[in-house]
Amino acid sequence: MMRSAAFLLLGLFSAMAQMRPPAVPLVAHDPYFSIWSMADRLNGEGTKHWTGKPNTLTAYARIDGKSYRIMGRDRQAGNELAQTRLEVLPTRTIYEFAGAGMTVGLTFFTPALPDDLDVLSRPLTYLQWSAASNDGREHEVDIYFDAASDLVVNTPDQPMLAARYQLDGLPLLRMGSREQPVLAKRGDDLRIDWGYLYLAADKAEGVTAFAGDRPQARAAFDASGRLPDSDELGEVRRGGPVLAYAIALGKVNASPVSRYLMLAYDDLYAIEYFERRERAWWRRNGATAADLVRAARREHDALLVRAKRFDTELMADLRKAGGEKYAQLAVLAYRQTLAAHKLVADADGTALYFPKENFSNGCIATVDVIYPGAPFALLFSPRLLKAQLQPVMDYARMDRWRFPFAPHDLGTYPQANGQVYGGGERTEENQMPVEESGNMLILLAALGRVEGNADYTARYWPQVTKWAEYLSQKGLDPENQLSTDDFAGHLAHNANLSIKAILALGAYAQLAGMTGHAPDAARYRKIAQEFAGKWSGLAAEGDHYKLAFDKAGTWSQKYNLVWDQLLGLNLFPAEIARQEVAFYLTKQNQYGLPLDNRRDYTKLDWVVWTATLAGNAGDFEKIVAPAWQFANDSASRVPLTDWYDTKTAKQQGFQARSVVGGLFIKMLADPAMWKKYSGR
């Protein structure tokens, strides 16, 4: 009996094992201010921008006169504290280290609270330090932190400047490129080279600050626990200056001592939107970097209380919705989703929320990136979804957009001046007509469902009607065209794309009913029902449904089918989802369910959408568990890739994309859960 209990206990601990993240979010705000640890230990490798280029943060603890590395990489081996804890939560990444009789904690706290856009949009992360003796003795402790110049330039050969200011009697350090080419570059693998990085402390007590050469700063800290008395910017070596702070914690015993620093980035202007330069949302009423730091310092304690409450509640609800492994996977997607967006204010104060298509082509406001990531906004902040859709809807009703279907994108980040993908505004070549039109209609219906009205859609009724009419002609049996899974190439008669079109027609009928267009509601509901009936006959193949209507012996994930349930459309018999899920469980590889029968790769977002089709928790967890294993085992150390090989766990492409917001779709399957969060 004792042996059985031991095995049960071992199984419990195994089930609750913490994931080893492929990359850990440290400072995650937008596509430019996005810093990650891509190693098992924070002090095992230098920190990086999501693109993999250095974004260097360094930290040391000086204990009884000897310095130990906490963050970053050093040529000296063996001088680091041992990392004893890593926990990733929605708003916090918590590290702990031990050695020399001390336990030292470093928490990266980003108050990413989706019900408060003013706070959510602040480009500021707190670095919270704690220290406590663990050997019963008292120790003298000092903390060192610096941020390098590679945070403010695209390439290390660009010249930069650093400066010191006084803000309310406290030192404020600033660094930026010399040239300041605001919004001048567009593209994918780029880092920001305009605006300014700021570093500030919570209070003056025990603080010294320095802007200059890192070796000089480190030498002074190692010798005395303080930084040089004056900045040295004339002969800066190794690519540029650092902004550095040292904090003397004094004699520390078993009672923890804590302090914090603030790392912020003011980009001055964030997005170019049809030739207008737009300010970040937090700047819309004229706020400056000084106001940002003041507000962050003043509100730190209250924000931390709110964030801890939010983290606890959301983690519990994620576990309730999908189990422990689902919760650990989803929480990794939380700040990544936000960090692939930028929230700005238009000239009239309207909120606009722009995703960047990271490491696929760098497009901005891509509709088939908004669609898979939309469950995040639908759950936490429908206002953010409207802010995503607004630029697309306004573009679609411009005279320059001549097509009867929805656009693919608005340009290349950070310049949203018109579509660049495929034929752009010129031709239909390599467009995604069924895909993007279906995406928009489904998302507008989802927005109407969560808000209880379709007032937003009513403003664009001619556009959405045009899209619905297009789908009624082209949607049931799509021509040879691209879909969102365009990396797999063109595919005619795509069964999953057909499902999207059919559900989009049902979504339009739903919206028509909500906006007083009763004849359209009846007509399009009937079309959708007829198409759904035909679909079953076209796609059926024994115990599953085909990849394409004309391809026998094939199969694919029918992830779009999830909206039939979420929107309450009920166009397809429930047996289709049951049959597909049962079939999928026979096709899984070690690291997940392939996208279709053609290759072994998959899409992480679609895996969770497909799992949400499952009628019971057991089947959901069976489909999600291999995806958790992929994240835990993958040798591709990047912010969650959504495109990976299900046999090797290696990245196929894409990383740090906002589409992982789609992992929260399981929360939408519980109406009470959806209402609870969106209602805030």
What DSSP string describes 205-225? TTEEEEEE-HHHHHHHHHHHS
> Is the preceding peptide bond at 626 cis, omega within 30 degrees of 0?
no
CATH number assigned to the domain covering 323-678: 1.50.10.10
Put residue 53 in one of left, alpha, beta given phi > 0 → left and psi -120 to 50 → alpha: beta
Mean pLDDT of all residues in 648-668: 98
Mean pLDDT of the chain: 95
Which structure tokens are listed for 651?
Answer: 């990245």
CB 392 within 8 A of CB 370: yes
Say what the pLDDT of residue 231 is: 83
Separation of alpha carbons 390 and 194, rounded Å = 27
Mean pLDDT of all residues in 141-146: 98
pLDDT at 354 over 50: yes
Separation of alpha carbons 482 and 432, rounded Å = 5
Separation of alpha carbons 450 and 567, rounded Å = 10
CATH number assigned to the domain covering 25-309: 2.70.98
Helix (H), strand (E) counts: the chain: 18, 26
Residue with tokens 């920190």: 47
Q: Where in the chain is the domain with CATH 1.50.10.10?
A: 323-678
Which structure tokens are listed for 523?
Answer: 């007509």
Say what the pLDDT of residue 4 is: 39
pLDDT interval class at 11 (50, 70, 90):
very low
Mean pLDDT of all residues in 12-32: 83
Q: CB-based contacts of 565: which residues, under 8 Å, 6+ apart?
A: 577, 613, 669
Query: CA 195, 201, 207 angle in degrees (round to 5)?
Result: 125
pTM score above 0.85 = yes
φ and ψ of 10, to 5 deg:
-60, -40
CB 138 within 8 A of CB 242: no
How many Å is the Cα radius of gyration of the chain? 26
Helix axes 617-633, 604-612, angle to 10 degrees: 170
Separation of alpha carbons 418 and 394, rounded Å = 11
Burial of 612: CB neighbours in 10 Å, binned 0-12, 13-18, 19+: buried
User: Residue-wise over 510-546: b if at least 16 C-beta within 10 A, else e?
Assistant: bbbbbbebeebbebbbebbbebbeebeebbeeeebbb
Which structure tokens are listed for 415?
Answer: 């310049």
Which amino acid, 336? Answer: Q
pLDDT at 94 over 50: yes
CB 341 within 8 A of CB 643: no
DSSP 638: S
Which structure tokens are listed for 534?
Answer: 């035909």
Lowest mean pLDDT among 7-21, 447-461, 518-532: 7-21
Separation of alpha carbons 441 and 406, rounded Å = 10
pLDDT at 40 over 90: yes
Which structure tokens are listed for 333?
Answer: 């997607």
pLDDT interval class at 6 (50, 70, 90):
very low
Q: CB-based contacts of 166: which residues, under 8 Å, 6+ apart?
A: 172
Nearest to 207 by CA among 125, 263, 144, 139: 144
Q: Where in the chain is the domain with CATH 2.70.98?
A: 25-309
Say what the pLDDT of residue 159 is: 93
pLDDT at 512 over 60: yes
